[in-house]
Each structure stands twice: as structure tokens, then as C-alpha cells.
A and B are shown apart, each in its own frame.
Chain A
Amino acid sequence: MFKILKYSFFDLFRSRWSFVYFFFYLLLGLVLLFLNNDLSNAIITLMNVIIVLVPLIGTIFGIMYFYNSREFTELLLAQPIARKHIFLGQYLGVAISLALSLVLGLGIPFIIYGLFESSAIWDFFSLLVVGSFLTFIFTALSFGIALRFENKIKGFGMAILMWLFLAIIYDGIFLLLLMYFQEYPLEDFALAASVLNPIDLSRTLILLKLDISALLGYTGAVFKSFFGTTKGSIISFGVLLAWVILPIWGMLRLASKKDF
């Protein structure tokens, strides 16, 4: 598996796109820091970008890499390597190189700016952890979609729809429900709905970390009392982890049944 990981990783590393992605974050980090001149503000702006962009890039990269390396995959399948290891290796190669672009691209400008002397280091750290989680989640989901759909156009369409649903439509439905049932106590529902969607969960985690939950009103207080506790942190971390493990499990299951 590690050999496959190595080859997928270097294959991506040599490709232009991971550099474009890296330089994009580098530029974004530099511009935000030196325009804002304030670490905390830069982190909030970055959060808004990361929460939407990281899933999108993970999805698109995952699906493109899978379809483009089909020949390589077929070559590997005839070698004495277990299927599980082939797909897990390729997945980790993509996810790790994307996560690395994110962490390095944002990390470098923040270190230059003097992150280590700032109290915002933990906020920034949690931003990177959440961003990496989202990368792993959405790359796994897109690999699963690519395995499920032989037709590239269909697979690409489904992947974009999946992203659109989790990043935008889910929130829309959530809001509509909140408005429709506003006479009822909705805190538990709101809490559950935010925990179940990885993008919402990531956003909530960072917002709470930044101590601006007061902006969220009463719900914010409920959230704070949930996520602030050890139990809440364990649950939210567990959900993020489940969002990584379940799609990987599904992807490997699909791979074990597929004909090539």
C-alpha cells in the first residue's frame, strides 16, 4: 500500500495542479494577513473560504484523479497487490497531497507573520485540522462516486451535486425548517443538524473556538454549552472521524465488487 501511496503522491506532486492549489493558499494567506493586519480577522475570513473551497477542491481533485488514473489502476490490478491496498493507497496519496498543500500554503504566511508569538495559534491550528478533515472526507466521497459511476460525466455531475448539497442546499433546508417551526424549541434539532453535516460541524467548531458564539444568540449559547464540554468535543471529533471512515469503508466495499 505504501508503494502505491508513494507513486500517487509523487504523481500529484509533479502535476501542476497541486502547485496551483498550494500557491493559491499561499497568496490568500499573505493577502489576508497583510491587508487585515490582524490574525483573528484573517482566521475568520479564511474559515469562510476554507469551509466551502476545501470540500470543492477535494471533490474535484478526487474524481479527476480517479478517472485519469484508470489505466494505472488497471495495470496495478493485474499485479500481486490486494485491491484494498491499491485504492487505499491512491486515496491517501491524493488526500495527503491536498492536505499538505493546504497546511503548507496557509502555514508559511502565518509563520512569517509571527504566529508563534500570538495567542491565535490554537485557533489557526484548529482551522488547519478542520481543513484537513474536510479534505479527507470529500476526497473519500468523490472516490466512492467515481467507483460507482463508470461514466465520467455522470460521476462528475454527481460529485458536484454532492458538494452542492452538503455545502449549500443542506443549509437552505435547515434554515427553512428553522423558520417554519420557529414556534417550537429547536435547539436540539439545530444541534443535531449541524453535527451531522461535516461542513456545518466544521464551521461551528471554528466559530466556537473563536469565541464569537454570542453572535449566534440563544442557539449559540446552547451550542457553546454542548461543544464546550469534553463530551461535546468528543462527539464532534467522533462525527468528523466517522465522516472519514464511513466513506472510505464504502469506497473499499464498492472497489471489492467492481469489475475492471
Chain B
Amino acid sequence: MVTVTNLHKRFGSQKVLNGLNLETHLPGIIAVLGPNGSGKTTLIKSLLGMVIPQKGEIAVNGKEIRRQSDYRKEIDYLPQIANFPGNLTVKELIGMIKDLRGKPARDKELIAFFGIESFLDKKLSKLSGGTRQKVNIVLCFMFDSPLIILDEPTSGLDPASLIKLRELLQKEKAAGKTIIITSHIMNFVEETADRILFLLEGVIYFNGSITELKTQTGQDDLEHAIAQILT
């Protein structure tokens, strides 16, 4: 679904992506890992057209995305920091995004699933970090798109919501979707991901399953395997 060829991006003098190549074909959950500043968010934002690379091509569903916007109909995105216009209520925000997308949404089902009915009439600026993240998740998943991109979905969630998120991800995966996740919680990655992409110095350093990563590094647990790559 997503093909990235020779992607280069620098911010000023700082090179972030350095000729990155990537291909995802099969549905399933792909975890993008890497140390801070390795270009995970830049890669994700390039896929969404929010960051404009200096060089390289990105194609989603076989179509080049440069200067396009329609391809985003097929993508659901969860931003890393859930900043919303503070003067809107949760209900207004959901209504607005639904209106902008003009597509049927399953917001009610997800609101009930995450138990945020009582917050619907509250202003977004009054919500706690965890609740805001739940709203963020509802906004992201409500359109049922075939490609889902999640930037740090676990941040601020309590254990009960984390279990729900995991449950939701499994359901989406079973529905044949491709899900790209970045996370620093190895536990979460180990339980959900089918494939690991490890970014280092702007290229993909490792691309394979968790078992492959463990055998390659000779470690039995993911956290140590990752640490092994970095040393």
C-alpha cells in the first residue's frame, strides 16, 4: 500500500531522512522504532504530506502523493501531541471533522467503547491529557480507513484504556487494515506488532519480525534486542 523510495529530508543543516526506502504490502501492524530524533515522526508526516521531502518518492495505493490531497481519504492519522482548538467542545470537534470528511463515521460506537460520553459537552481545553488522547483516538478511528497511522498512541492512557486500544487494534487488523505505529513502550510493541522497522540515522536499519530481530541480535527480549542494535 505504501511505497517509499529514496526519501531525503533535512531541516536546515540537520539531516533527518537519508535515502529511506520502504514497502508495505500485506495488512498487519508495523511498528516504527528508533531512538529520539531518528526520523519516525518525519517519516510519518511525509506520508501524510505534512512534511515535504527534498528528494524521493512516496506512493500510497500506487499513486504518487506529491501535491495531492485526495489520497488522505484512505488514511486515518493519530498525531503525537493531541492539540485541539481549545474553544470547541468534544462534540463540536467530532461533528466538524465528520463534516469536513463528508463520510459516514462510527463515532458513537467508539465513544461508547472508550467511555467518554460524559465529556462530550466539555471544552477540549478543559480535558485531562488521557481523555484528550481518547478523543484523539476516536477521531482517528471513526472513519474506518484501510491505512491507519498512529504516532505514539499510548501516551497518557491508563492501563484499562491501553487494553481497549490493543483490543481495537486487533479488531482493525483482523479487518485487513495496514496499521503503522510508533511507540517507545516495548511491551506494547511486542504484543501488537507483526513487523518491526528500526530507523537509525535516517534509513531503515532493520525490517522484519520480532522473532527475526531477537535471533539476529541474540537477545530474548525486545528491549534488550533494541538496546543491542544501538550499542
Binding site for B on A (CB under 8 A): 3-4, 7, 11, 14-15, 69-72, 74-83, 256-260
B79 at interface, CB cutoff 8 A? yes
B51 at interface, CB cutoff 8 A? yes
In the complex, given contacts A75-B85, A80-B101, A83-B49, what are 11 additional A-B residue pairs having Cβ atoms less than 8 angstroms apart?
A: A3-B99, A15-B87, A74-B79, A75-B84, A75-B97, A76-B100, A79-B72, A79-B97, A82-B69, A259-B45, A260-B50
Closest partner residue, chain B, to A72 (CB atom) = B85
When the two chains form their complex, are residues B73 and A80 in contact, meaning their CB atoms are under 8 A apart?
yes
Neighbour of B51 across the interface among A14, A82, A256, A259, CB < 8 A: A259
Per the CB 8 Å criterion, the residue count for chain B at the interface is: 25
A74 contact set on B, CB distance < 8 A: 50, 79, 83
B77 at interface, CB cutoff 8 A? yes
A256 contact set on B, CB distance < 8 A: 67
- Encoded as 1 (CB less than 8 Å from any A CB) or 0, chain B from 48 to 90 comes to 1111100000000000000101111101010100011101000
Question: In chain B, residues 95-110, which have Cβ atoms closer than 8 Å to a Cβ of chain A?
Answer: 96-97, 99-101
- The residue in B48, B49, B70, B85 that gathers the most chain A C-beta atoms within 10 A of its C-beta is B85
A14 contact set on B, CB distance < 8 A: 87
B77 contact set on A, CB distance < 8 A: 78
- The residue in B69, B73, B97 that gathers the most chain A C-beta atoms within 10 A of its C-beta is B69
When the two chains form their complex, are residues B69 and A71 in contact, meaning their CB atoms are under 8 A apart?
no
When the two chains form their complex, are residues B79 and A81 in contact, meaning their CB atoms are under 8 A apart?
no
B83 contact set on A, CB distance < 8 A: 70-71, 74
A80 contact set on B, CB distance < 8 A: 69-73, 101
- The residue in A71, A80, A258 that gathers the most chain B C-beta atoms within 10 A of its C-beta is A80
Number of A-B contacts (CB under 8 A): 59
Binding site for A on B (CB under 8 A): 11, 45, 48-52, 67, 69-73, 75, 77, 79, 83-85, 87, 96-97, 99-101
B48 contact set on A, CB distance < 8 A: 77-78
When the two chains form their complex, are residues B52 and A257 in contact, meaning their CB atoms are under 8 A apart?
yes
When the two chains form their complex, are residues B52 and A81 in contact, meaning their CB atoms are under 8 A apart?
no
When the two chains form their complex, are residues B100 and A3 in contact, meaning their CB atoms are under 8 A apart?
yes
Interface of A is mostly: helix
Q: List 14 A-B contacts (CB under 8 A).
A: A3-B99, A3-B100, A4-B100, A70-B83, A72-B84, A74-B83, A75-B79, A75-B84, A75-B97, A80-B70, A80-B72, A81-B100, A83-B69, A257-B52
Q: How far is the CA of A259 from the CA of B97 in the complex (A)?
A: 22
Neighbour of A78 across the interface among B11, B50, B84, B96, CB < 8 A: B50
A79 contact set on B, CB distance < 8 A: 72, 97, 100-101
Q: How far is the CA of A15 from the CA of B75 in the complex (A)?
A: 33
When the two chains form their complex, are residues B49 and A77 in contact, meaning their CB atoms are under 8 A apart?
yes
A15 contact set on B, CB distance < 8 A: 87
Shortest distance from the beta carbon of A188 to any chain B beta carbon, whole Å: 44
Q: How far is the CA of A159 from the CA of B67 in the complex (A)?
A: 29
B73 contact set on A, CB distance < 8 A: 80
B79 contact set on A, CB distance < 8 A: 74-75, 78
B49 contact set on A, CB distance < 8 A: 77, 83
Q: How far is the CA of A75 from the CA of B49 in the complex (A)?
A: 12
Closest partner residue, chain B, to A4 (CB atom) = B100
Q: How far is the CA of A158 from the CA of B45 in the complex (A)?
A: 29
B72 contact set on A, CB distance < 8 A: 78-81
Q: How far is the CA of A4 from the CA of B101 in the complex (A)?
A: 12
Neighbour of B50 across the interface among A77, A82, A257, CB < 8 A: A77
Shortest distance from the beta carbon of B150 to any chain A beta carbon, whole Å: 12
A71 contact set on B, CB distance < 8 A: 83-85
A7 contact set on B, CB distance < 8 A: 96
A75 contact set on B, CB distance < 8 A: 79, 84-85, 97
Q: How far is the CA of A75 from the CA of B84 in the complex (A)?
A: 8
B101 contact set on A, CB distance < 8 A: 79-80
Closest partner residue, chain A, to B9 (CB atom) = A259
